[in-house]
Amino acid sequence: MTTTALPSETAMRRMATTDSTPTNSTNISPIDSPRSSPSSTSLSSLASEDAVQTKRQLQEPAQLVDSYGNKFEIPDYTIGDIHKAIPKHCFERSAATGLYYVARDMVSLATVFYLANRLITPENIPSTPLRAGLWAVYTFVQGLFGTGLWVLAHECGHQSFSPSKVLNDTVGWICHSLLLVPYFSWKISHGKHHKATGHMERDMVFVPKTREEYASRVGKMVHELNELTEETPLATAFHLFYQQLGGWPVYLMANVTGHNKHGGQRNGRGEGYKNGFFGGVNHFDPRSPLYDAKDSHLILLSDLGLLIVGTALYQIGKNFGWANLLVWYILPYLWVNHWLVAITFLQHTDPSLPHYSPTSWTYTRGAAATIDREFGFIGRQLFHGIIETHVLHHYVSTIPFYHADEASDAIKVVMGKHYRADTRGGPLGFLKALFTNMHTCHWVETLPGTEGENAGVYFFRNRNGKNLSPKVLQPGQKA
């Protein structure tokens, strides 16, 4: 599978100043001259022509290019075109198939737990370092299977698990609660994310910082961003570590990376609320502006699931030891969080992806502002293809994962050049992209000189001199 998110060497090449004076005048033919009249050969006439051409170029609206410098065009197809292209059987959901995969993942988790506790013991393995290493492998493997179960609960939230809403929500509530995820609360906010993907003011997750917001974060003026010194790889690594370790729980508790424009919420529920700890925007409070009043009972039901599982974990730690609880559950849980954040971050963050202002956004355009990647056996078998078929998932989220590859191939024909994928390097390329995109996607800004709908299209920029450079602004000039 080839990538459509590769940087263009030609586009990325810096514009060099060249001498337009011919080295050999005998190579010029009469048709090369600006005009056929004799006066066109005068220096004043040539200068006049150059001035007119330069003025015309300055007046023409700028063309859109992504952060790599590749030409970008706003998608021109409709959601109806997408639906028509997908074979009808791809929409069929099977409760039996869904339950089989849930059972498979749960049996895998139980089997690994049983074998580890039977085999990784001082009697069988006297070496403490070796036992520690094997238990570390245990936490990693359980994190993979746990992530698979998380994905299946996510399918339930989209009603792609089975034709039965009751079964979907029951299985989803159980599976997500086991992973300390507030099922209904996240289902509702995630549904809003799907309805506003790529929207700068209404998207619910990984909304990029504007130039102004990024400048405020680093304590600089807006016009100084293009002059900042390069962020060190160590600083990027620290930001990445923080995101991967704490990004998911902080998102649930404080809506970090979600939009922060809650004042427009219906019935005034968002007035006075803001993202951050103690700002009132979270996934646990029925009064949170993320929800409507009618959702309150579902938020409480989600909290009840967390309370039940939290109580069970407390009893396990109390009766079997907190060190055992750490290894058995908490460390695998952190691995699940890592994979969840990595997957979501890389689905929506890439130099090739646009974001849209409210006036330029449409559902079809926003759904195309995502990207597929490749994670090999783990991605396709253990993670149920959530990495490899995410573009399709944003267009038709009710298609079950076992039909997603076929449906993805079908919509690629419709999307054409608008389909984004980066499969370079497989699993290693996926992991490398975590650092690369953290290093190159700092904020978004529009392109200078764009007009109409194009003026509402944002692309990533950074302070590290990677890809296209940020706008050069004068003091007091707005981005």
The C-alpha R_g of the chain, in whole angstroms, comes to 27
pLDDT of 386 strictly over 80: yes
Residue of 260, 273, 265 whose CA lies nearest to 203: 260
What pLDDT, on a 0 to 100 scale, did the predictor assign at position 307?
Answer: 98
- State the residue for tokens 């197809």: 77
Average pLDDT over residues 361-387: 97
> Residue 349 and residue 438: Cα distance in Å, rounded?
9
Average pLDDT over residues 238-267: 89
| Exposed / middle / buried, residue 103 (Cβ in 10 Å: 0-12, 13-18, 19+) | exposed
Query: Which of 122-136, 161-175, 261-275, 280-294 shows the lowest mean pLDDT across its residues?
Result: 261-275
pLDDT at position 225 is: 84
Residue 93, pLDDT above cutoff 60 = yes
And the tokens for 365? 């355009």
402 vs 99: CA distance, rounded Å: 13
pLDDT of residue 6: 60
User: For position 226, what pLDDT does the model report?
Assistant: 79
* Stronger pLDDT, 3 or 306, i.e. the higher one: 306
Instruction: Specify the higher pLDDT residue, 52 or 434.
Output: 434
Average pLDDT over residues 254-263: 89
Which percentage of the chain shows pLDDT scores above 90? 76
Calpha distance 302→329 (Å, rounded): 20
Are the C-beta atoms of 247 and 240 separated by less than 8 Å?
A: no
Other C-beta atoms lying within 10 Å of the C-beta of residue 290:
25
CA distances from 366 to 134, 154, 223, 402 (A): 44, 20, 29, 24
